[in-house]
């Protein structure tokens, strides 16, 4: 689009890949996110200093904060996303639930009223019937969410959920909903321009999760019939219209085993998993976001949107699946990302870069496209086999186990997939003897390779070299 980019970075990200790839980069403060990536003042100041016209909030950090959208607008800049009041409306689960129910979007039986007394909540929970799900109204990321299975557990679970919600979100209002067993997570990608033209760009399924965080996503969902898909997309558009939505957003639904779906929440930003929609529709979602933010109409109409083939995304995290998904900070000593037809890697990694404890452990997203789900899955298996990250522990072995599992292949997904099938991930054994022999030979190798000059200063000579990729351009 010919638009130069300005990246922002904290002290911890000085050497990060996004800093090197942007046209310009501006330091915004120390490693602590509160004083950098979560500091509205620092970000507005960086935008002003660099002469930027618009601010793209990305995902995470302030991307769904109405106050940030307002501050950007008040500074005379364009916010690439919906206005502040839309963020606030959908960020309050109680209000969003009421809005959706009024617009005819299916919601689960439950309660999201203003009377938040313990007695009222208990009475509503009894009316819904056990088990129920308790959700902080201002929540996100699974924090404070609890399943209450019996009446006698309600009081202590409510107290705990309120405590967590107060600590994490500064608000302890709750939503109660019927608990759905073995649900799937499906979501509709919507885009809307300022004139109110609203379109659905199909759905994604994100059922493979750990601790309410998505791990593997795909488009389209293998669970939906064409009729269900049309119905779901209609509901997504109705939700977006009810919210007076502008720009790209996602309406999340729970899909019950009986095929019924209900509104979960709306994400008022670009999603981490947006590349699978881009892969099947051929639409560059960030470009659409910029067009809409510039006041232009959507560059296509409903009839233009065609979904072709199947796409998968695997999230590579710096965490140890063998140790309760404990984050694993460290330095990337060696890196090789897959490339080839139908493979896209969105990565923040570079050899020598530091994975810090300050931010989310998401390292990279490996996306594959195929003519059908089977081809996309085979490409993913192949891509993951060629993804090499040494220096930090990653969830790569788990990702491979997921996409190689027969239940995944059969499309039999639900949000408890990992717990059901992969709770015990076999610990990596010792390498086979031939691999040890090869390793010993490699370690004994003297001279002849490019790393020699750097040997004396660093005991890990390969770690000191710049980024490079295997098979790039192949």
Partner 1 sequence: MTRLRCGDELFDPVVREKGHAFEVTLGERTYRFSLAAEGPGVFVLREAGRAVRFHVARKGTAVSLFWAGRVYELTEEREGTHPARRHEGGALEAPMPGRVVAVRAEPGQHVKKGEELLVVEAMKMENALRAPRDGVVRAVHVSAGEMAAPGRALVELETEE
Q: Which residues in this chain contact partner 1 in the complex, by CB under 8 A?
A: 331, 333-334, 336, 351, 384-385, 388-391, 394, 396-397, 400, 428, 430-446, 448-452, 455-456, 459-463, 465, 468, 470
**445-464: burial string, b at 16+ Cβ within 10 Å, e else:** eeeeeeeeeeeeeeeebbbb
Q: How far is CA 72 from CA 45, 79, 234, 246, 270, in A?
A: 10, 6, 32, 16, 17
Q: Does residue 89 have an active-site annotation?
A: no
Nearest to 311 by CA among 396, 216, 212: 216
Q: Say if residues 20 and 64 touch (Cβ distance below 8 Å).
A: no
**In angstroms, rounded to a whole number, what is the distance separating the alpha carbons of residues 137 and 95?**
9
- Please list, in sequence order, all residues whose beta carbon lies within 8 angstroms of the beta carbon of residue 354, skipping any fewer than 6 positions away: 12, 15, 329, 330, 331, 332
Q: Say if residues 288 and 191 touch (Cβ distance below 8 Å).
A: yes
The smaller minimum CB distance to partner 1, of residues 171 and 404, is found at 404
Q: Say if residues 7 and 26 touch (Cβ distance below 8 Å).
A: yes
Nearest to 392 by CA among 351, 438, 345: 351
Q: Which tokens go with 122?
A: 């208990």
Q: How far is the CB of 396 from partner 1 (least distance, A)?
A: 7
The smaller minimum CB distance to partner 1, of residues 219 and 332, is found at 332
C-alpha gyration radius of the chain: 23
Q: How far is the CB of 322 from partner 1 (least distance, A)?
A: 11
Alpha-helix residue ranges (DSSP H) falling in 196-310: 226-242, 274-281, 285-293
The smaller minimum CB distance to partner 1, of residues 58 and 330, is found at 330
Nearest to 364 by CA among 61, 64, 16: 16
**In angstroms, rounded to a whole number, what is the distance separating the alpha carbons of residues 53 and 71?**
14
Q: Say if residues 412 and 360 touch (Cβ distance below 8 Å).
A: no
The smaller minimum CB distance to partner 1, of residues 167 and 437, is found at 437
The smaller minimum CB distance to partner 1, of residues 15 and 431, is found at 431
Q: How far is the CB of 293 from partner 1 (least distance, A)?
A: 41
Write the DSSP assignment of 82-145 as a string of letters. Answer: --HHHHHHHH-HHHHHHHHHHTT----SEE--S---HHHHHHHHHHH-SSEEEEETT--TTTT-
Q: Judging by DSSP bridges, how do beta strands 110-111 and 174-178 pair with one another?
A: antiparallel
Q: How far is the CB of 59 from partner 1 (least distance, A)?
A: 28
H/E stretch holding 354 reads strand 354-355
Q: Give me the long-range contacts of 407-411 (CB less than 8 A, separation at least 24).
A: 408/208, 408/216, 408/377, 409/374, 409/377, 411/222, 411/223, 411/373
The smaller minimum CB distance to partner 1, of residues 49 and 445, is found at 445
Q: How far is the CB of 384 from partner 1 (least distance, A)?
A: 8
Residue 122 pairs in a beta bridge with none
Q: How far is the CB of 9 from partner 1 (least distance, A)?
A: 25
Q: How far is the CB of 451 from partner 1 (least distance, A)?
A: 5
**In angstroms, rounded to a whole number, what is the distance separating the alpha carbons of residues 395 and 362?**
10
**In angstroms, rounded to a whole number, what is the distance separating the alpha carbons of residues 313 and 344?**
9
Catalytic option among 89, 204, 210, 269: 269
Q: How far is the CB of 319 from partner 1 (least distance, A)?
A: 14
The smaller minimum CB distance to partner 1, of residues 177 and 337, is found at 337
As a 3-state breakdown, the chain gives helix, strand, coil percent values, each rounded to 5, of: 35, 25, 40
The smaller minimum CB distance to partner 1, of residues 302 and 455, is found at 455
The smaller minimum CB distance to partner 1, of residues 122 and 331, is found at 331
Q: How far is the CB of 332 from partner 1 (least distance, A)?
A: 9
* Residues with catalytic roles: 269
């Amino acid at each position: 689009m010919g638009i130069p980019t300005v990246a922002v970075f904290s002290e911890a990200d000085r050497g990060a890949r996004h800093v090197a790839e942007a046209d310009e980069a501006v330091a915004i403060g120390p490693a602590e996110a509160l004083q950098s990536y979560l500091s509205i003042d620092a970000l507005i100041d960086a935008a002003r200093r660099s002469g930027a016209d618009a601010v793209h909030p990305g995902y995470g950090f302030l991307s769904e904060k109405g106050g940030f959208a307002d501050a950007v607008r008040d500074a005379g800049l364009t916010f690439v996303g919906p206005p502040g009041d839309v963020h606030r409306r959908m960020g309050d689960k109680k209000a969003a639930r009421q809005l959706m129910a009024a617009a005819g979007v299916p919601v689960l039986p439950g309660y999201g009223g203003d009377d938040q007394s313990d007695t009222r909540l208990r009475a509503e929970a009894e009316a819904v019937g056990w088990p129920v799900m308790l959700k902080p109204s201002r929540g996100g990321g699974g924090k404070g969410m609890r399943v209450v299975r019996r009446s006698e557990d309600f009081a202590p679970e409510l107290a705990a959920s309120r405590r967590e919600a107060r600590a994490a979100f500064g608000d302890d209002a709750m939503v109660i909903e019927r608990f759905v067993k073995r649900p799937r997570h499906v979501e509709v990608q919507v885009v809307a321009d300022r004139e109110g033209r609203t379109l659905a760009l199909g759905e994604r399924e994100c059922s493979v999760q750990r601790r309410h965080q998505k791990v593997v996503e795909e488009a389209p969902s293998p669970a939906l019939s064409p009729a269900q898909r049309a119905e779901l997309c209609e509901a997504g558009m109705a939700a977006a219209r009810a919210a007076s939505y502008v720009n790209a957003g996602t309406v999340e639904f729970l899909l019950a085993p009986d095929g019924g779906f209900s509104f979960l929440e709306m994400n008022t930003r670009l999603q981490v998993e947006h590349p699978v929609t881009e892969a099947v529709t051929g639409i560059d979602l960030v470009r659409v976001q910029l067009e809409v933010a510039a006041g232009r109409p959507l560059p296509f109409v409903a009839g233009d949107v065609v979904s072709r083939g199947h796409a998968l995304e695997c999230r590579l995290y710096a965490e140890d699946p063998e140790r309760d998904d404990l984050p694993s900070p460290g330095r990337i000593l060696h890196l090789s990302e897959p490339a080839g037809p139908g493979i896209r890697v969105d990565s923040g990694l570079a050899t020598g870069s530091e994975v810090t404890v300050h931010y989310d452990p998401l390292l990279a997203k490996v996306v594959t496209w195929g003519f059908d789900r089977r081809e996309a899955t085979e490409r993913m298996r192949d891509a993951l086999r060629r993804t090499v990250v040494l220096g930090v522990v990653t969830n790569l072995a788990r990702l491979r186990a997921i996409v190689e599992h027969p239940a995944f292949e059969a499309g039999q997904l639900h949000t408890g997939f990992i717990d059901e099938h992969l709770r015990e991930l076999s610990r990596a054994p010792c390498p086979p003897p031939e691999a040890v022999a090869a390793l010993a030979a490699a370690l004994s190798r003297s001279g002849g390779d490019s790393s020699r000059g750097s040997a004396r200063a660093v005991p890990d000579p390969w770690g000191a070299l710049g980024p490079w990729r295997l098979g790039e351009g192949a």
